[in-house]
Amino acid sequence: MADVVIGLDLGTGGVRAIAVNLQGQVVAQTTQSYPLLTPRPGWTEQQPADWVKASLTALSEVAGQIEGQQAIALGLSGQMHGMVPLDGDGQVIRPAILWNDQRTGAAVVEIEAAVPRAELIQRTGNPAITGFQLPKLVWLRNEEPQAYEQVRQILLPKDYLGYVLTGAAVSEPSDASGIGCLNLASRQWDSEILSALDISPDLFPEVVKSTAVAGRLKPELAERTGLPAGLPVVAGGGDNAAAAIGLGISDRNLGRGSLSIGTSGVIFAPCDRPTPDPEGRVHLFCHADGGYHLLGVTLAAGGALRWYRDTFAPSIDFADLMALAEQSEPGARGVLFLPHLAGERSPYLDPDTRGAWVNLSLAHTQGDLIRAVLEGVAFSLRATLEVIQDIAPVTQLLATGGGVRSPLWFHLLADVLGTELVAPKAEEGAAYGAAILAMVGVGAYPSLEAAFEILPEAIEAVQPRSQAAYEAAFERYTPLYESLKVVR
């Protein structure tokens, strides 16, 4: 009977479960969705019970697809930064507050009044950020004190699922470092930060290695899903870290990072020591490989193109949009686009900034506007990459996500970023990385380096070409953020 491992990624839109054999091939997969709750503008929540129901269904379906094969481990990944508050009986007190929730502005100010921003960055790798879990906990104390009084444990989304599956409440560094109070040097909760905020460290779970066995599948859930009772459940990683593991990105190869163009745009760069940007313009988190990584985020990347299509050209498919953009030229004939349609993370950390087209004229065409959107996203990512390159230089980025499937955008990004882009042969995402971590966690491979040997090879590499038009446009793009702040 062949052995397989299961990887499960608890995303914002749904949960994905896959089974991977020990040769790295995906042999089963399924996705289950659940609703996103928006009770007020700027608030995003989900019911943890929906996660559990969908996850158990997904695990049951995968178990049904691997008959004749033996599951030997389950690895977890999931959306970062969310807050699941539990009472003394382990019951959920209120809906989970998610990573993209923006209600915590006052809590961020309170945290940085108690612990200066520079000290937070030095200790945790990041300033206080509205989407992180720690400001959510401060918000809960201030705005829902009756709920806060009941809190005995705070868990991240994937760690809550692990708790339900095994009864063990633990976290691991890649996800825990996105809470806002993990000391990156020690990889443990920073008691001085929590003391300054009058928050007990006992509210947070034990932090174990990403490849550690967090617990074992409960018998009643094994019966319900068809998986083996006592199946080892490996701690896993936050979604970005797990996805990087699935691409083989590690501090063992410091020159190679990743670029993802989905709804958001993410640049991931591994590093071997916790060196934050002093201004906190990019995130510094622990990596699931035992090292660290820098993370820069453009919130509306593919999302900006989708907004354009939905708003201005709903009858045109994306392939035709790209064909129109190709009729323009590098530099979009002078049109510039700021992609800050949902505020911005890197390098500004400004939830209130907004997007714009600049330098429009009667001579400009629809193709110019579309190309300006593509270039604006690329310029935003370049502004982030320039910060990263000063700390953890990369010479190659593995490019994933729907955006890089467009040859035009793929080559444009390489040219603007000035970095070689490589398309991996397979792109299985965070669930695949969780499965790789699980393989190492149960000894199927002795190390991550050994497990990386089974990852598929890249299929296409694009070298950057020098484009004077892009350089000139980027020089005009960089001051736009500051100049447009006066409009707000």
Q: Which two tokens stand for residue 437?
A: 């971590």
Catalytic residue among 101, 239, 277, 368: 239
Rounded to an integer, what distance in angstroms lies between the CA atom of residue 433 and that of residue 242? Answer: 5
Residues 6+ apart with CB under 8 A from 442: 5, 72, 73, 213, 232, 234
For 329-398, give the DSSP string: -TTGGG-EEE--BTBB-TTT-BTT---EEES--TT--HHHHHHHHHHHHHHHHHHHHHHHHTTS--SEEE
Q: How far is CA 347 from CA 59, 278, 280, 284, 341, in A?
A: 39, 12, 8, 13, 15
Amino acid at 142: N
Rounded to an integer, what distance in angstroms lies between the CA atom of residue 324 and that of residue 347? Answer: 30
Rounded to an integer, what distance in angstroms lies between the CA atom of residue 277 and that of residue 385? Answer: 12
Q: How far is CA 102 from CA 44, 360, 406, 475, in A?
A: 8, 32, 32, 31
| Chain centroid offset of residue 232 CA | 25
Rounded to an integer, what distance in angstroms lies between the CA atom of residue 294 and that of residue 279? Answer: 13
- Total count of residues recorded for the chain: 488
Rounded to an integer, what distance in angstroms lies between the CA atom of residue 174 and that of residue 289? Answer: 9
* 239 annotated active-site: yes
* Burial class, 311, CB count within 10 angstroms (exposed 0-12 / middle 13-18 / buried 19+): exposed
| Active site members | 239
